[in-house]
Amino acid sequence: MNIARRGILALAGALGIGAMIASAPGVAQDWEPKKPVEFIIMAGTGGGADQIARLLQGLIEKKDLSPRPFIPINKPGGSGAEALRYLQDKAGDDHVVLVTLNSFYTTPIIQQDLGVDISNFTPIGRMALDTFLLWVNTDREDITDLDSYVDAVKAAGMEWKVGGTGSGQEDSILTAMMEKEFGYEVTYIPFPGGGTVAKNLVGNHIDSTVNNPAEQNEFMRAGNTKPLVQFTPERMQSYPDVPTAQELGHDIVYFMQRSINGPPDMSPEARDWYINLFKTLFESEEWQTFCVEDGLTCDEWVAGDDLAAFHAEQGKRHQELIESVGAAAITGE
Amino acid sequence: MESILLSLSGGLLEAFQPLNLLMIVIGCVVGLFIGAMPGLGSVNGVAILLPITFLVPPNAAIMFLAAIYYGAMYGGAISSITLGIPGASTAVATVFDGRPLAIAGKADQALTAAAIASFVGGTVSVVLFTLFAPPLADFALRFGPPEEFALMVLAFATFIGLGGDDIPKTIFSILIGLVLATIGLDIISGRPRLIFFDISGFMHGINFLVLAIGIYGIGEMLWTLEQTEGNVIVHKVNMSWRAFLTNLGHVKYYIKTTILGSILGYFVGTLPAAGATPASLMSYGLAKTFSKDPESFGKGNVAGVAAPEAANNAASTGSMLPMITLGIPGSPTTAILLGGMIIWGLRPGPLLFTEHPDFVWGLIGSLYVANAFTVLINLAFIPLFVRVLTMPFTVLAPIIFVLCVVGGYAPSQTMHDVWLMLLFGVAGYLLRKLNYPVAPAVLAIVLGPLAEQSFRQSLLGSQGEVWIFFERPISATCIAIAAALVLYPVLRGLRKPAKAQA
Amino acid sequence: MTVRTAELVMAIATMLISIAIMWKSTELSIGWVPQKGPGSGAWPFWLSTGMLLASAATLVRWFLRATPESRSEETYISRTAFYVVGVSVGAILFLLIATNFIGIYFALLLFLFFYLRFVGRHSWTTTLSVTIGVPVFIFCMFEWALTIPLPKAISEPLFYPIYDLIY
């Protein structure tokens, strides 16, 4: 039965009108959830990870893929530190999964005393890769490409304001990488969320930003902002005219992964059930449409041990990145 | 103008489609009840019911969610008045006068005032929304960090009158609220801050609701228990038509405040990052400052119920503006609505108005309809809500405690917050007995993070130069108004003795 | 304890709390970072310094007997009030501790039963209907209508059949 009817009827029941509905239990399998599954989001409401979790929850509900509901719970504390520690403490629990950002890698590196080792977690599946582009306001007619951008930044020096979603977040790492590559220094101003960053760029309160496509697309279409360069290995379908940094001779490539992970020591049966579930979702038409519209890359399904290998590689890469730019460049103090 | 009317009538027709109308009515009722539960606000309602919207067309879906949002705004006032617990952060200012009215046996008056003020607030803001959406969106864009900080200064200035007569204790209360707000992640440096005893529960900071439910739910309940020593209080409730009409007649006492609050609420709501809570608090503060009888505020003045209720409903409509035109949520609830729109394949942004006019105007039309329905439903339910107060106190008190515990748990789903809530409740009770005002702490925890964040963002941008707040026209104006608000009571105080002498 | 003593104890307690927060804030930079504005510890540090000063002012006013509280020799919490308030706080405390072990629903049953029957001295009918009605209402509202699971601790398996029924 659908959640709408359930919600309304339950409310009626709760009000004392009373209603009883029984639904048939799901098809027997090796393992399936016995109670509602906690769907932990390591970021606040309304962000990219949150949207993904709520979309997936809705799809699970709509397609009736789970006998128990998935319940999104936001734990944004400490750049995801709270979520990671929560998951660590839930070791062996088969009814909790986590939607990640790249703070999955960076938070344990930057906050050493957290005591979380992500290699203990149970990788389930990678739903998408998100990409980054460099954006400026279209009012800046003097900036047309990467070179003129670098010149403008160097001329402005510390007065050049780059907006981002927070020190230690993906875009601050990318900003630090660019500072190192081009040999300039800028002022990095954190805002609570990519949408706010985009608005501040349109309102000329900041000079540039590295936003995800989803956060800037509408402003680009309205002619408010323009992308200068993309940080992908190859040009994306949606931005055929924007060069990649590699084409221009600067080796900056950066992705954000959106993956689903379980706590340490999840039972293999449960893990397989979740892998199956999220694979079905990944292949669904709705998910693929969402990916295209949101500028996400969803070509390849990576699950289980392959995802563990991917996490290991990305973890190492972030470790190197943070060492090379210096943790101080990212945390800002 | 004509094109606006044409679009609007199209939108209204859309809202009267059978499916859409059904969704609006259900949404209003569901929202009303969710809003009335302490701890649960429109955020929970909208977040939880979002998946339902996969089953109906996007237009019906957004109308359903917007109706829940609307209903919850009305509902918040119900628990603020009858139980003395703010149902959501937007309804905290409603407690200040709503609770004293309920204790005095005038809950029906307070509830009627809340419903009428909400209706006026909703209507005024929808009309403003219809007429001035695009120019206001441009104005909102001009709000950078310095302007946001100046707005917060203005918000604080409106509270000057809210403290008690003991100045050091009032200052202490404001400061502890601000300090509690700094717990958690510092977004500027990306570092955890004030994580006491390394407890991970502090990492998500102290939710406003934990403090508000603790102080108003548990603390107030303990205070009332002590005052009555557990004896039964039974309120006489007059539920005749005559009483209802008399209550309606009271509109004249608060209509001015209500309209002022509606306009203020709408403008504050349209600014990204502000939202309905600061709007309702500012409206209350202003209503008190400019009242002919400021002393009666906080002791049961219906205008003190009407002002915040008008503003929070107006702001909830207002905060849809940055969501639709800029893709930036003005409040946590619109953040989720925004997520919903993206999931349905609608891209909020500057082009939504021109590319999906049917959707936008349908939403606006539904706001008119939802507003009218909610006020009717709300007025119809008032006798039911008032009946809650006729329960013996030793039955009501444990039920309120239970609602506090569950309401403290629900937003973050950790027991850590429930323990904190109990701690705040007991501390609030002990402090209150020594004449420490508690309201300033609750206000400070809401505005503190916004103020600190915008202050530091501005200084980062200006290379540490403080003059930035006075150089920019909008922020300088806000600060000047704030200074005037602070000086106004002082000047009025100076003038009075002069008159007495003459 | 008289109100006057309570005022003194509270002023000292708030001073100690302020100092503790000031000390905790010094873990982060509390100064003015050149070209960046205040450091991340500055806001809490200077605010808690303000709390310390405000508490000190209350203390000074206590010595001067400047406030009504510092002159009042009435009892701070009377015996009867202590009983009603103490029992309520104790019962909530028990509710929270019990939630950790037997889950919130069974803890609620015990809490409500105790409060209604022994504090409120209500009839069996009232006691039982509220004791059973409230947890059922909470369950329907939260778990069923809103799908917010409340903590159940070891009582979780007992709910599996109900989940079958409602989800």
Tokens standing for B303? 């205008």
Q: Are residues A67 and A212 part of one domain?
A: no
Q: Which residues of B62-88 are buried (b: 16+ CB within 10 A; e: fewer)?
A: bbbbbbbbbbbbbbbbbbbbbbbbbbb
pLDDT at C20: 94
Least confident of B21-30, B143-152, C144-153: C144-153
Query: What phi and psi values does residue A133 have, to the nearest 5 degrees?
Result: -130, 160
Quick check: is A279 in a domain?
yes
Least confident of A213-217, B312-316, C24-28: A213-217
Residue A130 β-bridge partners: A256
User: Element (H or E) spanning A4, and its range?
Assistant: helix A3-14
Identity (one letter) of the amino acid at C70? S
Nearest Cα residue to B76 out of B44, B34, B124, B112: B34
- B15 falls in which pLDDT band (50, 70, 90)? confident
- Average pLDDT along chain B: 83
- Best interface-test mutation with C: which of B37, B176, B191, B416 has the largest number of C CBs within 10 A? B176
Identity (one letter) of the amino acid at A290? F
- Average pLDDT along chain A: 83
- A51 falls in which pLDDT band (50, 70, 90)? confident
pLDDT above 70: percentage of residues in chain C = 100
pLDDT digits (tens, 9 = 90+) for C26-58: 888 888 877 777 888 888 999 999 999 999 999
pLDDT at B478 over 70: yes
Q: How far apart are CA A55 and CA A39, in angstroms?
A: 12
Least confident of B247-256, B283-292, B321-330, B460-469: B321-330
- A261 falls in which pLDDT band (50, 70, 90)? very high
**Average pLDDT of the residues in C85-111:** 93
| CB-based contact, B309 to chain C, within 8 Å | no
| CB-based contact, B206 to chain A, within 8 Å | no
Q: Are residues A139 and A117 part of one domain?
A: no
- Average pLDDT along chain C: 89
Q: Are residues A220 and A182 part of one domain?
A: yes
Quick check: is A330 in a domain?
no
Number of domains in chain A: 2
Q: Are residues A316 and A221 part of one domain?
A: no
- A10 falls in which pLDDT band (50, 70, 90)? very low
Nearest Cα residue to A96 out of A265, A257, A310, A258: A265
Closest to A79 (Cβ–Cβ): which among B144, B185, B343?
A: B185
Residues A220, A222, A223, A225, Cα dihedral to 10°: -40
**Average pLDDT of the residues in B389-395:** 81
- Best interface-test mutation with A: which of B65, B337, B450, B457 has the largest number of A CBs within 10 A? B457
Query: What phi and psi values does residue B185 have, to the nearest 5 degrees?
Result: -85, 135
Q: How far apart are CA A169 and CA B364, in angstroms?
A: 37
Q: Are residues A102 and A210 part of one domain?
A: no
Quick check: is A28 in a domain?
no
Q: Are residues A260 and A250 part of one domain?
A: no
Range of the domain at A109: 36-130+256-324
**Average pLDDT of the residues in A109-125:** 86
pLDDT digits (tens, 9 = 90+) for A283-327: 999 899 888 877 888 888 999 899 999 999 999 988 888 887 766
**Average pLDDT of the residues in A40-60:** 82
pLDDT at B230: 55
**Average pLDDT of the residues in B25-35:** 88
pLDDT at A78: 73
Non-local CB neighbours of A271 within 8 Å, separated by 6+ positions: A122, A124, A262, A304
Quick check: is A5 in a domain?
no
| CB-based contact, B190 to chain A, within 8 Å | yes
Nearest Cα residue to A282 out of A98, A132, A63: A63
Q: Token match 């390591």: residue?
A: A42
Is residue B73 a contact partner of residue B35, using CB atoms and an 8 Å limit? yes
User: What is the strand order of the sheet A208-211 is part of?
Assistant: A187-190, A161-164, A208-211, A133-137, A225-230
**How open is the CA angle B246-B248-B254, to the nearest 5 degrees?**
115
- A214 falls in which pLDDT band (50, 70, 90)? confident
Better-predicted residue by pLDDT, B333 or A234: A234
Last residue of a domain, one of A219, A254, A289: A254
DSSP A23-34: -PPPPP-S---S
pLDDT at A102: 87
Per-residue 3-state assignment (H helix, E strand, C coil) for A41-90: ECCCCCCHHHHHHHHHHHHHHHCCCCCCCEEEEECCHHHHHHHHHHHHHC
pLDDT digits (tens, 9 = 90+) for A150-181: 999 999 988 899 998 877 788 888 998 898 88
| CB-based contact, B231 to chain C, within 8 Å | no
pLDDT digits (tens, 9 = 90+) for B400-446: 899 899 988 887 888 999 999 999 999 999 998 898 888 888 888 88
* Closest chain A CA to residue B340: A51
Is residue A92 a contact partner of residue A121, using CB atoms and an 8 Å limit? no
Is residue A109 a contact partner of residue A322, using CB atoms and an 8 Å limit? yes
A&C contacts, CB < 8 Å? 57
**Average pLDDT of the residues in B318-323:** 80
pLDDT above 90: percentage of residues in chain A = 32
- CB contacts of C88 in chain B (<8 Å) are 221-222, 225, 397, 401
Strands (E), B141-292: 184-186, 191-193
- Best interface-test mutation with C: which of A39, A65, A68 has the largest number of C CBs within 10 A? A68
- A12 falls in which pLDDT band (50, 70, 90)? very low
- What is the pTM for the complete model shown? 0.86
Closest to C160 (Cβ–Cβ): which among A11, A34, A69?
A: A34
Last residue of a domain, one of A212, A233, A254: A254
pLDDT at C163: 85
Chain B residues 452-481 with a CB less than 8 Å from chain C = 452, 455-456, 458-460, 463-464
Tokens standing for B350? 């500057």
CA C140 to chain centre: 26
CATH number for the domain harbouring residue A250: 3.40.190.10
Better-predicted residue by pLDDT, A267 or B322: A267
**Average pLDDT of the residues in A174-195:** 86
CATH number for the domain harbouring residue A310: 3.40.190.150
Q: Do C95 and B226 touch (CB under 8 A)?
A: no
Q: How far apart are CA A14 and CA A36, in angstroms?
A: 20
- CB contacts of A58 in chain B (<8 Å) are 50-51, 53-54, 343
Q: Are residues A269 and A206 part of one domain?
A: no
Q: Are residues A225 and A319 part of one domain?
A: no
Q: How far apart are CA B186 and CA C41, in angstroms?
A: 9
User: Element (H or E) spanning A190, and its range?
Assistant: strand A187-190
**How open is the CA angle B445-B450-B453, to the nearest 5 degrees?**
120
Q: How far apart are CA B272 and CA B269, in angstroms?
A: 7
- A270 falls in which pLDDT band (50, 70, 90)? very high
Quick check: is A6 in a domain?
no
Last residue of a domain, one of A202, A236, A254: A254
Is residue C147 a contact partner of residue B410, using CB atoms and an 8 Å limit? no
Q: Do C6 and B433 touch (CB under 8 A)?
A: yes
| CB-based contact, B229 to chain C, within 8 Å | yes
pLDDT digits (tens, 9 = 90+) for B175-203: 999 999 999 878 777 778 888 888 878 88
Query: How many CB atoms are located within 10 Å of the residue A222 CB?
Result: 16
Q: Do C69 and B435 touch (CB under 8 A)?
A: yes
Q: Are residues A126 and A56 part of one domain?
A: yes
Q: Are residues A181 and A70 part of one domain?
A: no
**Average pLDDT of the residues in B329-354:** 76
- A14 falls in which pLDDT band (50, 70, 90)? very low
pLDDT at B500 over 50: no
Chain B residues 256-275 with a CB less than 8 Å from chain A = 272-273
Q: Are residues A239 and A152 part of one domain?
A: yes
